[in-house]
Chain A
Amino acid sequence: KNEVEQSPQNLTAQEGEFITINCSYSVGISALHWLQQHPGGGIVSLFMLSSGKKKHGRLIATINIQEKHSSLHITASHPRDSAVYICAAPNNNDMRFGAGTRLTVKP
């Protein structure tokens, strides 16, 4: 069993839809990261959160430490949100990654 599991693996949505990507982890962590990777490879760190909820524009990330679960939500999705979203769990000085969720938002 992977230490960090994401679902779904692939997601296709129509512009304007509400998107949810889930991440479950089994390692002990101090914080969880959500990353965005566009074609071409560059990775952008969207959120780092250790409790509760964070919001940035149309993006919302939540985490439940007791249940070891985090979600990334995108409201009013747009084609430019199309990317791979990866959750990452630092474990000591290591980082464990989910396999990523490939999101495609169609106009």
Chain B
Amino acid sequence: DIQMTQSPSSLSASVGDRLTITCQASQDISKYLNWYQQKPGKAPKLLIYDASNLETGVPSRFSGSGSGTDFTFTISSLQPEDIARYYCQQYDKLPFTFGPGTKVDIK
């Protein structure tokens, strides 16, 4: 299985801050990486697909980049409604695997 790691595991930032989460795959997954947002008690929501494409309806403050084994997820200006856990997920090879998540809080 392809192992996904994320850092940091949690972070606190102020409203308006720019924050970045990194995701690393244990092998080359090309561009086949998604980012999801999960709020407490809710199902995950797809934000970014194919590493850098914004899902329809997702605010433009969210963005992603990277390819191969190293990927980055960025919120350009943190909003209170962005408080959630964020997961990366690879879909280059079965089984699809998720990173452990990054918890984002407001400072």
A binds B: no
Residues of A within 8 A of B (CB): none
Residues of B within 8 A of A (CB): none
